[in-house]
Amino acid sequence: MNKSILFSFLFVQNILFAQFSERNLSSEKWQFKNAKENKWLTASVPGTVHLDLMNNKIIPDPYQDENEKKVQWVENEDWDYQTSFKLSSKELANQNIDLVFNGSDTFSEIYLNGKLLQSTDNMFRKWTIPVKQNLKIGENILQVKFKSAVNVGKELAKRVPFTTPESPRSYVRKAQYQFGWDWGPRLVTAGIWKNVQLNFWNQAKFENVKIEQKALTRQKADLNIHAEIFAEKEGKYSFLINKISQNITLKSGKNLISIPYQIQNPKLWQPNGWGDPNLYQLKILLQKDSKTIAEKSERIGLRTVELIQEKDEKGKSFYFKVNGNPMYAKGTNWIPSDSFTPRITKAKYQKLIKDSKEANMNMIRVWGGGIYEDDEFFKACDENGILVWQDFMFAGSFYPSDGNFQKNVELEVKDQIEKLQNHPSLALWCGNNEVDEAIVNWGYQKQFKYSKEDSLQVWKDYKKIFHEVIPNAIKKYATNDKQIYWPSSPSIGWGHQESLTEGDSHYWGVWWGEQPFEIYNEKVPRFASEYGFQGMPTLETTKSMFSGAPDLSLQNGTIKAHEKHSRGWEIIDNYMKRDYHIPTDFVKYNYVSQLLQARGMQIAIEAHRRAKPYNMGTLYWQLNDCWPVVSWSSIDYLGNWKALHYQIKRSFENQVILTEEKDEVLNFYAVNDELKKFEDVSLIVYAKKFNGDTIVRRRTDCKKRCLDGILKLASPKTSFFISESERDNSFLNLILVDKKGNKIAESNYFFSKSKDLKLTKPTIQIKKISPTEIEVSTDVLAKDVYLMGDTHFSDNFFDLLPKTSKRIKLSKPLEKVEVMSLFDTMN
């Protein structure tokens, strides 16, 4: 062999065998059919059977009209999927080929060229199947056969001698909300819901890479890079972290290596409100003879998170210390953004997280009845400084604990830790949503006539999964710095006094208990991880419920069907009656229902923030929706901000000035969540009539009294000369200023409920400043100004004070902006 032939032979061999490469099989042509039938139809991967049936016009869109009912048959059927793909000789020449299913929903059998290679039983696991021996050059057939999850679940449920609430959903490791929720349709689907790919590798591959932060000081971050490497043959390799190379020896088979790595003068990842969420890119390579054979890229953030629970005179604290400082958590609960998750775009994830950042949040809880979210969700949280409270996917039921289930859960936890643990946003792992609460407080044992043994068994199952299997798996698979575990949210049910003195709390006395919003002032927990109230979606989203011309009426069947709480309409009406005039006109009803929701949440959040540091967190229920629906969300299915989201943005400002009326005294609270404390601030309070006349102006200089972040000032109500007869036509305007007179915070306080206010008709004028900017002005107080139109307004549902104006930005130009205010609902 002459030299040049030898050289090119080696060169080709290096190209063939050196690199790791991937081939996405999702982009091949896929087909599907009902297992009982013969006709194959076009399918999409990633996808779900409902979407494929919709695309083939076999079922109507379940989000529209009353179609949800019409598609229920789908869950009882078995479905087959298949594709064929061509493999080249070059591809088959790789030493190893893995077929990777990043997600299969749920009970499926995977066949390659007619051979059964894998059975799956957990939507949340990743399946890696070595397939080199099963592949051939040319055409290969890949088939996936799904069994109805409902039918399999029913069989599994038979093994337990008692009835389980909402059986069979807890027997199947599948997104629980697919079985229907009080904000979600029942759409128990099936399908290849994540990418399928072929991974080609030679000599060695990374199974996973975990970054551990051992110590973090101002001078340096001490990291340990843990890599699990599978090597074909033993030998010497190089391991590179951002080009710094180290020699390692690998044995054949599985290897665990740990390499220290330091970052000097680290820039911290700070949560939103405290600074930038700085990120560092780590490129990790495995080389053999100077050729890269495997690589991984990780983007990390340097931060510390601790959960502080210390006994005190009232109970036990519950708060997060981030980078050494106590952080007041402001945020929300996240549910899947669609009932059909494969169609959630990256842009949708990005927008919802940006909207959360814009509303001054620093924490989101991923609720346990949904899915472990896509990487894009965590990427967005990393980039926007949002910490994630991550539930494991169990919610509001009793779960079994037989050997198979335990193993399945352990492997699910392992897969999710490997996927999520390097994200700086990840703060806490939580075992479940409301499973403890369901067992202790929801009375199922009585309802289903459990024997004493049955009840004991349920508790044993609970302990096994949430106090053993999951925490043990976290210890085994997560690095030391990513092991904060909280077994159940809430830790104690809302009916118990202890839920207010320790742990996290879901306070549902409002809504479920139908107590007035004002009860929030009394029921202040240490950390509120859920509380909420429903409001209608925006008009655009309401109209999208109809396939044809919308019939906007509360009596309309479609409108009624898009409220999934059995007493939802009634509860909204009952609360509306207390605080507002109930409009008969649909558009006005929609508007008031949103105001009502925003008002309820404002009361809750203010009560929580006034109680800082007793209370150190407030996460309202819920950020988003999975279809167009009347729900607790602040952003509707189409991404529009409801009145609540605008209110959240105001209520979650880092520095706020709040008013509390108690025993003939007005207490003013200046609350500061910034790292930098208040210095010399002054509070200016105006008492004004709705027509703009000032009754009184008071200024209080606070000097050093407010160094701890909360400033409390008390004033007898009479000092503002607000007599009983003036309560309904006057208000307070509070402005907090720094020593230079710059405004730090502003708020308005009304003495009466909205329905009792003696409003006069405002003349609201809208002036166009540019195609995307308007100026809104009024003569007398315009309460709850609602700007209408198909655009996003930078502010909306706000109070416009007498003889003032406000500039508002529009996301896109509008011909005409319509406007209404609370006065229009008072007749």
Of 590, 599, 596, 592, the closest CA to residue 537 belongs to: 590
In the complex with ligand BMA, the residue whose CB is nearer, 107 or 394, is 394
To ligand BMA, the closest distance from the beta carbon of 414 in angstroms equals 26
Instruction: Write down the least CB distance from residue 242 to ligand BMA, Å.
Output: 42
Sorted by sequence, the CB contacts under 8 Å of residue 311 that are 6+ apart come out as none
Cα–Cα dist 380/645, whole Å: 19
**Smallest separation, CB 612 to ligand BMA (Å):** 24
What are the phi and psi torsion angles at 780 (to 5°)?
A: -110, 175
Least CB distance to ligand BMA at residue 389 (A): 13
Binding to ligand BMA in span 225-264, by CB under 6 A: none
Minimum distance, C-beta of residue 182 to ligand BMA, in the bound complex (Å) = 5
**Cα dist from 768 to 521, 791, 812, whole Å:** 42, 15, 13
Rank residues 572 and 722 by Cβ distance to ligand BMA and give the closer one: 572
> What are residue 620's phi and psi, to 5 degrees?
-80, 155
The one-letter amino acid at 470: I
**Could you tell me the smallest distance in angstroms from the CB atom of residue 506 to ligand BMA?**
5
Q: How many residues bind ligand BMA (CB under 6 A)?
A: 10
Task: List all residues 6 or more positions away from 218 whose beta carbon is below 8 Å from its beta carbon.
Answer: 265, 266
**Beta bridge mates, 745:** 736
Supply the minimum distance, in Å, between the C-beta of residue 381 and ligand BMA: 20
H or E element that contains 459: helix 452-463
Q: Which CB atom, from 168 or from 396, has the smaller least distance to ligand BMA?
A: 396
In angstroms, what is the minimal distance from the CB of 570 to ligand BMA? 15
Residue 183 makes contact with ligand BMA by CB under 6 A: yes
Nearer to ligand BMA, 323 or 397 (CB): 397
Q: Does 627 bind ligand BMA (CB under 6 A)?
A: no
Query: In the complex with ligand BMA, which residue's Cβ is closer, 318 or 533?
Result: 533
Instruction: Report the distance separating Cα 387 and Cα 619, nearest Å.
Output: 12
The torsion angle over the Cα atoms of residues 282, 287, 290 and 295, rounded to 10 degrees, is -40
Q: Please identify, using beta-carbon distances, which residue of 101 and 183 lies nearer to ligand BMA.
A: 183
Residue 80 found at the interface with ligand BMA (CB under 6 A): no
Nearest to 407 by CA among 660, 170, 121, 686: 121
Which amino acid belongs to residue 347? A
User: Of the candidates 144, 43, 44, which has an alpha carbon nearest to the alpha carbon of residue 101?
Assistant: 144
Q: Residue 774 pairs with which residues in a beta bridge?
A: 768, 808
Among 506, 608, 642, 649, binds ligand BMA (CB under 6 A): 506
Rule CB under 6 A: say whether 564 interacts with ligand BMA: no
Nearer to ligand BMA (CB atom), residue 80 or residue 434? 434
Residues between 512 and 541 with contacts to ligand BMA, criterion CB under 6 A: 530
Among 162, 181, 405, 720, indicate the residue that binds ligand BMA (CB under 6 A). Answer: 181
Q: Which of 609, 603, 595 is nearest to 644 (CA)?
A: 595
Least CB distance from residue 736 to ligand BMA, whole Å?
35
Binding segment (CB under 6 A) for ligand BMA, from list 113-121, 175-183, 248-256, 784-792? 175-183
Q: Which residue has the tokens 């991967």?
A: 45
Nearer to ligand BMA by C-beta: 177 or 206? 177
User: Which residue number places its CB atom closest to ligand BMA?
Assistant: 182
- From the list 58-66, 181-189, 237-245, 796-804, the region that binds ligand BMA by CB under 6 A is 181-189
Q: Are strands 41-43 and 30-34 parallel, antiparallel or unpaired?
A: antiparallel
Backbone phi, psi, residue 114, to 5°? 85, -5
Minimum CB–partner distance for residue 824 and ligand BMA (Å): 31
* Complex with ligand BMA: residue 102 or 341, whichever CB lies closer: 341
- Using the minimum distance from each CB to ligand BMA, give the nearer residue, 433 or 825: 433
**Token pair for residue 773?**
């900017």
Question: SS3 of 43, please?
Answer: strand
235-241/280-288 β-pairing: antiparallel
CB 267 within 8 A of CB 278: yes
- The residues in 734-773 that bind ligand BMA, with binding defined as CB under 6 A, are none
Judged by CB under 6 A, which stretch of 137-145, 177-185, 254-262, 710-718 contacts ligand BMA? Answer: 177-185
Site for ligand BMA in 668-697 (CB under 6 A): none
Tell me, residue by residue from 426 to 445, as one string, x for binding to ligand BMA by CB under 6 A and - for no binding: -------xx-----------
* Euclidean distance between CA atoms 780 and 759, whole angstroms: 9
Residue with Cβ nearer ligand BMA (370 or 583)? 370
In the DSSP assignment, the letter for residue 637 is T
83 vs 42: CA distance, rounded Å: 10
CA-based nearest residue to 31, from 43, 47, 39:
43
Q: Which two structure tokens, joined as six digits, stand for 734?
A: 């509070």
Q: Which stretch binds ligand BMA (CB under 6 A): 151-159, 178-186, 343-351, 643-651?
A: 178-186
**Smallest distance, Å, CB 447 to ligand BMA?**
18
DSSP 305-351: EEEE--B-SSSB--EEEETTEEE-EEEEEE--S-SSGGG--HHHHHH
Told to check if 396 binds ligand BMA by CB under 6 A, we report: yes
Residue in 146, 621, 637, 751 binding ligand BMA, rule: CB under 6 A: 621
Helix-helix angle 568-579:586-610, to 10 degrees? 80
* Complex with ligand BMA: residue 91 or 182, whichever CB lies closer: 182
Find out whether 397 and 438 touch, Cβ atoms under 8 Å.
yes
Q: CA-CA distance, 124 to 372, in Å (whole number)?
A: 7
Closest CB 564 distance from ligand BMA, rounded Å: 9
Residue of 61, 166, 182, 232 that binds ligand BMA (CB under 6 A):
182
Q: Are 711 and 677 in contact (CB under 8 A)?
A: no
The answer to whether residue 169 forms part of the interface with ligand BMA (CB under 6 A) is no
Length of the chain: 827
Q: Would you say 400 or 568 has its CB closer to ligand BMA?
A: 568
Cβ nearer to ligand BMA, comparing 212 with 434: 434
| Residue 662 burial class via C-beta count within 10 angstroms: exposed 0-12, middle 13-18, buried 19 and up | exposed
Phi, psi of 381 (to 5 degrees): -65, -40
- Residue 395 or 732: the one with the smaller Cβ distance to ligand BMA is 395
Q: 401 or 433: whose CB is closer to ligand BMA?
A: 433
CB of 504 to ligand BMA, least distance (A): 12
Phi-psi region of 714 (alpha: psi -120 to 50; beta: other; left: phi over 0): beta
Contact region for ligand BMA (CB under 6 A) — 176-184, 208-216, 304-312, 555-563? 176-184
Q: Using the minimum distance from each CB to ligand BMA, give the nearer residue, 211 or 352.
A: 352
Neighbours of 518 (CB within 10 A): 12
Min. distance of Cβ 391 from ligand BMA in angstroms? 9
Q: Is 30 in the site for ligand BMA (CB under 6 A)?
A: no
Q: How far is the CB of 245 from ligand BMA (least distance, A)?
A: 49
Query: Rule CB under 6 A: which residues touch ligand BMA?
Result: 181-183, 396, 433-434, 506, 530, 621, 632
